[in-house]
Structure formats: structure tokens, C-alpha cells
Structure 1
Amino acid sequence: MAGRIDYQIEKYSFTELNEPPHLTRQWAEVTEQCREVHAGVEERLRLALQNVDYVTSFELPFRLLLIRAPQLIASVRETLPVRQKNVIFNGKRFGCVYSLKTDLNAIPDAFQYRLSTRIRREDATGNSAAPFQQIAKDTKAPRDRLRTALESGLQVTVLDGMFWFGIQRMAADIQRLRKSGMRIATAETEVFDNLTGTLRRVPMYRLAG
């Protein structure tokens, strides 16, 4: 197994084409606050909901490095009045906007996101970001990238999938690959990233057998 994996993020730009400046400032403040207090996953979500006008289901995994955003939304709904609106991402994907505001009419109906990164990946086995970057370059569809990585013998964490394959909900893609006949083993590993400043355990997948 890979043991602890460190993600040293040198550049991380997640942007929305028409994002107003005040929303950009709100997200920057939330990101900095999360880093300062080493906020856990639910605390990061709460800080975003309480300090950003609205958040989308597409951006939550990328902005806050959340790996189970739908479950976390369901959890915070027990104590916060979260409202939602259906929207479209990148011209084809359906999702939701979440907000604590009562009037969601002014929120856009469509969003166009772009992610640009420069990240160093370090683990005890010597695996770097290079094979993940190459797969992302050679293969377009996120699930096909995941399939190729597993078939290449890589151990893939949910953060690998997020950073290099554009995958928000890896568990769902893993389930679909298993239904197609792939034998995939699941484990957990410790990961650290300097974006959130947290050390935590996350799922990691590899081809079984």
C-alpha cells in the first residue's frame, strides 16, 4: 500500500466564467479561514454556507476538497436552513445550488467552471503525479481515466481522481466500473494537503487479483 500521501499544491485555480468579484473574495476568505483553523470536512462546508452567498454541488468538492458532499449537505441540513435550486454545469451536467438565503431567483441557472493546477504528489512507494498527469493528457472522459489508472496498476485516492481526472464522486464511478466487471479493492490511506492543512484518511482504490 502507498501509506501516507502528501499533496503539495503549488497552484490551484478553480474559477467560474462569470463569477462576480465579491463571490471570489468570499471564497478566498473561507479558504483562508479553513486553512487557519485546520477545519474538518463538515466545518469547511458550514463555513462556506455561512459566508458565501451560494455554493454549487459542482464546486464544493474542488473548492473545499470534500469527498462526500451530498452526505455532508444532508447532515448540515439538520441544523442550517439550506435551500436549493437546480442548475446546469458546463453546458451539460445537472446539479444544485445551495444557499442559506431565502430568495434564490438572482442566482444564475448555468455555470461554466475551469480547474487549473500544479500539484506535487509524494508517497512512500515513490509514485509521483506524473502517471496521473499522463493519463489525464491521453484520455478525455473522467471515468475512462479512472479505468486506465486502475488497469495500469495505480492505487488511486479520491484526491487523485479530483485533482487529475476531474472526478467529484469517485465512489459512484467505482460502482459503475464494478458493474462492468472490474474487480476493484478498496482501502484507506492517510493524506495531507497544504490547501486545507489537514491530515485525514480517505478511500483508495486498486485493481484486485
Structure 2
Amino acid sequence: MSGRIDYQIEKYSFTEAAETPQLARQWREVLEQSRQQKAGAEERLRLALQTVDYVTSFELPFRLLLIRTPQLIAALRNEFPLQQKNVLFNAKRFGCVYSLKTDLDKIPDEFQYRLVTRIRREDSAETNAAPYQQIAKEAKAPRERLRLALESGLPVTALDGLFWFGIQRIAADVQRLRKTGLKIATSETEIFDSLTGTVRLVPVYRRVG
């Protein structure tokens, strides 16, 4: 896929129901430093681990726009003495808390997250956010949203999947769809997002055949 996709973030609110003022302030500091430094994915994750009391596997992709969170965590394990705790997200998904603190007993066992966005998507093919938003209204399951988008001929980047379909690990969902017989091609495209202020290459998926 040629050309660049721009994601202009007009509103982006990712919150946890019991989030403390201290955690909210820490995350603001991480995002501010990330933008000032134009930090890459690993640098953004490093800042978060060093600044925030604890981070969760569910929130990291949304807060930092990470598309390969498990691999990034694994890469930093030799650098940081990460402590880990299993928790539940939105009453249905299991995941982990990561922290540099040794005592995790005071960290909640369950988290309830909410994402509210207003994002403009601009690319050379004039594919805007509207068709992705429509699919999100038609289907609830993230993988079903991805299937509908691909079958309709839409290109789907990792950030499209994150912003509108709630997909945190799009490569895994693409692989599962391929096993059902759906032919999907993978390439890369350059993207910019105004939340991190960075330009980078991300995977983009299209149906073929």
C-alpha cells in the first residue's frame, strides 16, 4: 500500500473506572514526554514503566498506541526487574499487570476501561474513518469487525484495528481468519498520529483473491 495515512486525534479519552488522580497524572507525564521526545514504541513503553506505578497489558496498546506489546515487554525484561500479576479486564478478559514495585498486593484484581475517541483518518485513497465506524456499529466482536472490514475491501492497519475495532493484537486475529480460508495479504504503510506525534511503518492487511 503506497502513501501515508494520517490519524488526527481530535478527542482521545482512555480511562479506568477506579483510576486515581496520581495514576492519571503519571500517564499525562508519559504522553507529554513521549510527544516532546517523539519517542518510538520501545521508548514510550520504557517511559511508562519508569513513570507509572503499574501498567496493564490491556491499557498499554491504547494509551501508547503500541501494536506489539507482548514482544516489547519481552524485550525489556532483561532491562527492568518486572513484577507481574494476573488480573481481569472489563469482566471478561484476562491479562497482566506489570510494575517495577515489588509489592503488588494493593493493585486491583479487576479493571474496567472505557475509550472515547474522535479521530480523523486521511489517506491518498480518500478512505476516511466512516466505513470503519459503521462496521464497529454492526458487529460487537473485534475479530468479526475485522472480517467484515476485510471482506468489504477495506485496508486495515494495526491502528484502524485498535481505534475502531478494539483489536490489540491484530496479527493474531489475522492468522485465525486465514485459518478459516480468508486470503489476506500483509504489507506495511507509513502512518502518522497526532497523539504520539510520530511517523512510522505499521502492518496493513487486505483481502486478496
TM-score computed with the length of structure 2 as normaliser = 0.99
Residue aligned with 2:8, SS: strand
- Segments of 5+ residues of structure 2 without an aligned counterpart are none
Matches within 5 A, 1:20-35: 20-35=20-35
Matches within 5 A, 1:41-56: 41-56=41-56
The match for 2:10 is: 10
Matches within 5 A, 1:57-72: 57-72=57-72
The match for 1:152 is: 152
User: 1:2 Cα deviation (Å)?
Assistant: 4.9
C-alpha distance in structure 2 between counterparts of 1:182 and 1:44, whole Å: 34
Residue aligned with 1:206, SS: strand
C-alpha distance in structure 1 between counterparts of 2:52 and 2:192, whole Å: 25
The one-letter amino acid of 1:190's match is E
Matches within 5 A, 1:1-209: 1-209=1-209
User: 1:78 Cα deviation (Å)?
Assistant: 1.1
Conserved? CA contact 1:80–1:100, under 8 Å: yes
Conserved? CA contact 1:156–1:205, under 8 Å: yes
User: 1:185 Cα deviation (Å)?
Assistant: 0.3
Of all paired residues, the percent bearing the same amino acid is 74
Alignment length, in residue pairs? 209
User: 1:195 Cα deviation (Å)?
Assistant: 0.3
Residue aligned with 2:36, SS: helix
C-alpha distance in structure 1 between counterparts of 2:3 and 2:177, whole Å: 25
The one-letter amino acid of 1:121's match is R
Conserved? CA contact 1:16–1:111, under 8 Å: yes
Residue aligned with 1:127, SS: coil
C-alpha distance in structure 1 between counterparts of 2:78 and 2:108, whole Å: 26
The one-letter amino acid of 2:145's match is R
Conserved? CA contact 1:2–1:155, under 8 Å: no
1:158-177 per-position Cα deviation (integer Å, ceiling 9, x unaligned): 00000000000001100110
C-alpha distance in structure 2 between counterparts of 1:104 and 1:3, whole Å: 45
Residue aligned with 2:118, SS: strand
C-alpha distance in structure 1 between counterparts of 2:56 and 2:79, whole Å: 19
C-alpha distance in structure 1 between counterparts of 2:117 and 2:144, whole Å: 20
1:98-119 per-position Cα deviation (integer Å, ceiling 9, x unaligned): 0000100100000000111000
1:8-66 per-position Cα deviation (integer Å, ceiling 9, x unaligned): 00000000011111100100111111011000000000000000000000000000000
User: 1:139 Cα deviation (Å)?
Assistant: 1.1
C-alpha distance in structure 1 between counterparts of 2:158 and 2:40, whole Å: 16
C-alpha distance in structure 2 between counterparts of 1:54 and 1:174, whole Å: 30
The one-letter amino acid of 2:48's match is A
